[in-house]
Amino acid sequence: MGDSRRRVTLPEESSTSSSAEKGKLENKKAKDSEALYYIQTAVADHIFPRISVATSKSMEHFAKGISRQCKVAETGEATWYIDSAASNHMTYNKGAFQTLDESFKTNVKLGDNHIVKVEGKGSVAINTKKVRASLMMLCTSLTKNKFVQCVGQMMEKGYTLHFGGDSCTIYDNKDKTLKIAEVRMKEHRCFPIHLQYMGRTAMKAQEDQSWLWHRRLGHFNFQGLKILHQKKMMTDLPQIQAIEGACEACLQGKQHKKPFPSGTSWRAKAVLELIHTDVCGPMRTPSHEQNRYFILFIDDYSRMTWVYFMREKSEVFKVFKKFKNLVEKQSGRSIKVLRSDRGKEYNNSEFDKFCEEEGIEHQTTVSYNPQQNGVSERKNRTVMEMARSMLQEKHLPKAFWAEAVYTAVYLLNRCPTKAVQNMTPIEAWSGKKPSAKHLRVFGSICYVHIPTEKRHKLEEKTEKGSSSATAHSQKATESTT
């Protein structure tokens, strides 16, 4: 501070005072001015212990005036003060808390040695570019509209604070080059920052949005949804908040004992170098097309998955030839290795002869060890869990299993997987980033337009139905009426 101290001009006394009284007044002015200097230094540097006891009476004389000067205009619901002397974040406002443990009780000594009671602790969410929840203490005796932001607590969380010039700059706790906020020093050397805390209603709205996208993407896990948004692996997807709580449809559809062991350590270096395949079924209830089985083909490199439905297992060979023709034409490459279990639908002379003629190496698992075909087994389970959850949520008949499986595969191709870094399977396969704009919750009510050729002039133009699947090769969502 040095010689740049600020002085306050006191009210002038009556001109009728005696010279002795004027001398006493001048002496008192000097002491009060010195006391004010120490108080202002303490406010700026948070070093109240430096204040001399000898000046305590003078300090008392000016304390109320200083507190009024340091109070920043109430321009927002939450005015935060960056405070290096505070031991914890503190607020007077009970309504700001998302969670509050009122059983927590303690005392806090302020800079003027005044003791205030702490009546609880909990989390407060701040509405910034990144929603941040902070552990905070509730002190109802604090000044109205005052939130104390503890420098030490922020540093413990990894944030960097730089004081220089006339501002305080706060940097992100992960990306040290990312500036979160720059707080200008205001009158009386305070650092107030006006932030809007998110009330319970705002947080509830964000939770509802997260649940909606959890359902739209076939009950995909929240961690995966956050990765999908953060790494910009899908366009038109809003920010997803991780929700604490159970999804009943997920509990009913995904509960299992233990996962399969991880698959082979060898990974393909390009598309179609290795294809995993497996058959699932028979289903007790046939689909609307009278199918009881489905077969998956998974590209090892991209994890792109294709699904086909069958009435009998004997159709596997015909379906494989159809799949081979499709993907080889799309990619301009040839299938090199096919990995399957030792089921009769794969392990027969007709299938072996075809693979030999096409130059495809057919790898099969050891008998009674389906885990060796782990990629297919795991994908089968994931598809069935997602399909089951979607059917359970909308209480749809079991006959819709094929539509649910088809939708599950479509969505999983647009969701992140640990096997592919920083992109979705469909982007790894096609090079195009998927969009979330067209996605709707499976089984939602929809109204289907009836073509002119199929209705008379006075008949309804729409028919009520439910969305059932998004077609791979059509720019539309299929519905069932």
Q: Where are the alpha helices (DSSP H) in 366-470?
A: 374-394, 401-412, 425-430
Please confirm, yes or no, whether 352 is among the known catalytic residues: no
Label residue 419 exposed, middle or buried (CB < 10 Å: 0-12, 13-18, 19+).
middle
Label residue 208 exposed, middle or buried (CB < 10 Å: 0-12, 13-18, 19+).
exposed
The DSSP secondary-structure symbol of 327 reads H
**Exactly one of 3, 32, 45, 83 is catalytic; which is it?**
83
Please state, in angstroms and as integers, the Cα–Cα distance from residue 273 to each residue in 36, 38, 337, following that order: 79, 76, 6
Contact call for residues 320 and 306 (beta carbons, < 8 A): no
Task: Write out the two tokens for 138.
Answer: 């509730």
Q: Which of 269, 266, 273, 267 is nearest to 336 (CA)?
A: 273
Compute the distance between CA of residue 138 and CA of residue 196 in angstroms, rounded to an integer. 17
Task: Write out the two tokens for 165.
Answer: 């010039």
Compute the distance between CA of residue 280 and CA of residue 402 in angstroms, rounded to an integer. 12
Compute the distance between CA of residue 218 and CA of residue 389 in angstroms, rounded to an integer. 8
Please state, in angstroms and as integers, the Cα–Cα distance from residue 150 to each residue in 46, 70, 79, 80, 329, following that order: 12, 18, 14, 10, 62
Please state, in angstroms and as integers, the Cα–Cα distance from residue 430 to each residue in 286, 325, 331, following that order: 33, 17, 8
Known catalytic residues are 83
